[in-house]
Structure 1
Amino acid sequence: MFDNILEQQRIDKSNEFKKAGINPYPHFLKKEMSLSDFKTKFSYIFESEAKRDENSFGIVAGRLKLLRIAGKSIFANIEDESANLQIYFSKDSIGEEQFNLLKKNLEVGDIVLTTGFPFVTKTGEFSLHANEVKLATKSIVPLPEKYHGLTDIEQRYRKRYVDLIMNSEVRKDFLIRSKVVSLIRRFFEDKGFLEVETPMMHPIAGGANAKPFITFHNSLGVERFLRIAPELYLKRLIVGGFEAVFEINRCFRNEGMDLTHNPEFTTIEFYWAYHNYKDLMDLTEELFALLLDKLNLEKIIEFDGNKIDFSKPFERISYKEALKKYGELSDEIIENKEKILTKLKLDGFEANEKLDLGHLQAELFDNYVESKLINPTFITDFPISISPLSRRSDENPNIAERFELFICGRELANGFNELNDPLDQYERFLKQIEAKNAGDEEACEMDEDFVNALGYGMPPTAGQGIGIDRLVMLLTNKKSIRDVILFPAMRPLKSELKEGKE
């Protein structure tokens, strides 16, 4: 490791610092302010006659992004997470011995701590005139070439640390992500919700329709499933007496990877006693309005070449009406299994003939409707068979009191009136077992403890989940989920694969 010529040269330069009695990896260094704060604090020098203030000093730190040696002086650009800044130092300002050591051994990528006063160069660039420059960290691996940066998309994801060093816009996207999570947390706390944490390893793969990751608990001697969703535990808390809870955390689904799916992803799930799914839709619109406002985004934003209008109330349309309006499908097809199968096959889509009507209607929705839902749209009143945890409609027992929010053809949220009838829930789980036996690998499993919890009585409750990753994609106009996850899942390189397992 670190054995190519350029890396070895940098190691040699690191040793030069050691010979001079300087630790290339010192500690206990304190910077006084960020580069952004330095620029703000001393911005007045642009208005001063001298264009410099030798009586005001700041201590800043940053990574060298540019180094230009001009005889007895050096101009450099340093960068921290807030900004970049030009620094200047010379033999006269820091002393000949230190200058010569830095001139010979300092390189782009190194991190330095510098003390100096603000001034404006003859070309009009705000800068720091250093009277002290200390090496804070010696970089052994060279950075990518400045003008091309880290352009290979696979390398950007695999080496996110380099991506963050080279691309300030990437850092900005993840700052936005962090702010989004913080705003969501504050929003729900202000509404009186309690933040909780529930298990990541479940004895039963449940809470949503998906394939789980399976691990083994050595101490207990049993299999455990990385959680698909926290739903069933959060609803146990509602049974226990909490009336408004939320959790922001990871979920895991052992499924394919594409532009909108990563096997490890972040959601918020929240449950609200004595409220219904219409209240949740209102709450969701309120949340989006707050995010757009706090992030200083317009009411009409661009995403993936589409203009998305948040200035109007979100459309609310039933599942069946959406199949007719957006899918241009007739009642004759929608309500007939054989005609759905014929339609799908004629248009080149695969469908399992063993699926019930609700699951086949879901195939219609996925193939003919979803991609057409550009502006924020709540799809309501789902088929009951694809909603195993939702409450049945009192008016139509084949319909679940459920909605999903779609924006630009992508599902961002799923919510419903929670099923709190333990006998009905037990029967639904039995139906899920039948579906699994019929070939649905994502069907839920029986959770008798949850049914038992419902037996103690859960008040009327509405619950919802929102995908944080897809939400951030939308707000930052990123087409791939990998662009908003710091360390996305990646296929292993051949060099990482164990021998014989390519």
Structure 2
Amino acid sequence: MARNAIAAALRGWFAQRDFVEVTTSALQVSPGNEAHLAAFATEAIGPDASRRPLYLHTSPEFACKKLLAAGEERIFSFGPVWRNRERGPLHHPEFTMLEWYRVGETYERLMDDCAEFLALAAEKAGAQRFRFRGREADPFAEPERLSVAEAFARHADIDLLATVSADGSTDRGALHEALVGAGLRTAPDDNWADLFSRVMVEKIEPALGQNRATILYGYPISEAALARPSADDPRVAERFELYCCGVELANAFGELTDPAEQRRRFTSEMDEKERVYGERYPLDEDFIAALAFMPQASGSALGFDRLVMLATGATRIDDVVWAPVAD
């Protein structure tokens, strides 16, 4: 019953701070435009037998931001999302995502929110420590704040930002040489993003969130997704991820509100998706248009099932889902 207790406590937390809970449609014209996310596709049939493709959303992000553009200021969504080609101890094709937005507040405020959620989940589950695969962390301790560049230097001895130019362009050759020097495998067809991801998966992520949670911030601008550039350094974005016991729990942005830049990024991501997987998803034109009216905001998405796992000591996500999808 820890799952229910944590869910109720989180809803109470938002209610006390005047957030509005929103329920958005799971069926969308675009499931999201990240190259390596796979969606569940379906088809809508109209009364005249006309057909059009729809997708189960991989996140309520597009719909929530349309609501911000329409005037909402503090909202959260707490419900199921779907991702295809994902199954394992930390992955389930349908899972529960908590997503929340603050208009006029920085993404550093979301870092504080995340720290409060860890403590709240631990309290409701009666846990003094979070545990996963032999790793432990204190959910009541203040999370470490570590930049991506600092993490690369500490855990892989790589100067990451030396491979990123002021205009955001990346140097694949320089990063490749750094990986070779660090003893990491490479492939001839690896691009800069592939090399970056390999360091993250093999060197960085396993070391994060030990003894206390880690907030990993300042992602290279080429990995910004829907985040705006940092005002302090144009090579990085206002994006952070929350890790605990080596597990990624949350992903947050200082939100990008430039429609042209967002279109450029989405198109680039879909070009990469087509190169790797031979398919691409449509753009949500209403979402891109809404960005022109969206106020400055910050937003975060948190994997609720993973939070429950760490709070209860479960080793598989299926153990904290009421009725898992059969293998």
Instruction: Tell me if TM exceeds 0.5.
Output: yes
Structure 2 residue aligned with 1:372, among 197, 200, 207? Answer: 207
Indicate whether 1:221 and 2:51 are aligned. yes
Shift of 1:312: 2.7
Structure 2 residue aligned with 1:316, among 129, 136, 145? Answer: 145
Secondary structure at the aligned position of 1:438 is classed as: helix
Separation in structure 1 between the aligned mates of residue 246 and residue 281 of structure 2, nearest angstrom = 26
**Match in the other structure for 2:297:** 461
Residue segments in structure 2 that go unaligned for 5+ positions in a row: 165-170
Indicate whether 1:304 and 2:139 are aligned. no
Indicate whether 1:184 and 2:10 are aligned. yes
Separation in structure 2 between the aligned mates of residue 180 and residue 352 of structure 1, nearest angstrom = 47
Indicate whether 1:269 and 2:96 are aligned. no
Question: 2:90–2:316: 8 Å Cα contact kept in structure 1?
Answer: yes
Instruction: Provide Cα deviations, 1:269-314, integer angstroms capped at 9, x if missing partner.
Output: 111101111000011112222232333332x344332331234310
Structure 2 residue aligned with 1:212, among 25, 36, 39? Answer: 39
**Match in the other structure for 1:479:** 315
Separation in structure 2 between the aligned mates of residue 235 and residue 243 of structure 1, nearest angstrom = 10
Separation in structure 2 between the aligned mates of residue 411 and residue 181 of structure 1, nearest angstrom = 19
Question: 1:203–1:224: 8 Å Cα contact kept in structure 2?
Answer: yes
Structure showing greater relative contact order (alpha-carbon pairs closer than 8 Å, 6 or more residues apart)? 2
Question: 1:326–1:368: 8 Å Cα contact kept in structure 2?
Answer: yes
Residue segments in structure 1 that go unaligned for 5+ positions in a row: 1-174, 492-502
TM normalised by structure 1 equals: 0.58
Separation in structure 2 between the aligned mates of residue 236 and residue 461 of structure 1, nearest angstrom = 12
**Match in the other structure for 1:29:** none
Question: 2:160–2:175: 8 Å Cα contact kept in structure 1?
Answer: no
Match for 2:135: what amino acid? N
Q: Name the larger-Rg structure.
A: 1
**Match in the other structure for 1:198:** 24
Separation in structure 2 between the aligned mates of residue 341 and residue 409 of structure 1, nearest angstrom = 25
| 1:409-428 alignment, distance < 5 Å | 409-428=246-265
Indicate whether 1:288 and 2:123 are aligned. no
Separation in structure 1 between the aligned mates of residue 7 and residue 34 of structure 2, nearest angstrom = 23
Separation in structure 2 between the aligned mates of residue 372 and residue 399 of structure 1, nearest angstrom = 22
Aligned length in residues: 314
Question: 1:201–1:226: 8 Å Cα contact kept in structure 2?
Answer: yes
Indicate whether 1:438 and 2:265 are aligned. no
Secondary structure at the aligned position of 1:228 is classed as: coil
Shift of 1:433: 2.9
**Match in the other structure for 1:239:** 69
Separation in structure 2 between the aligned mates of residue 282 and residue 364 of structure 1, nearest angstrom = 27
**Match in the other structure for 2:235:** 398
Question: 2:33–2:266: 8 Å Cα contact kept in structure 1?
Answer: no
Match for 1:412: what amino acid? L
Instruction: Provide Cα deviations, 1:77-110, integer angstroms capped at 9, x if missing partner.
Output: xxxxxxxxxxxxxxxxxxxxxxxxxxxxxxxxxx
Shift of 1:330: 4.3
Q: Indicate the RMSD between aligned Cα atoms, in angstroms.
A: 2.5
Shift of 1:467: 0.2
Secondary structure at the aligned position of 1:241 is classed as: coil
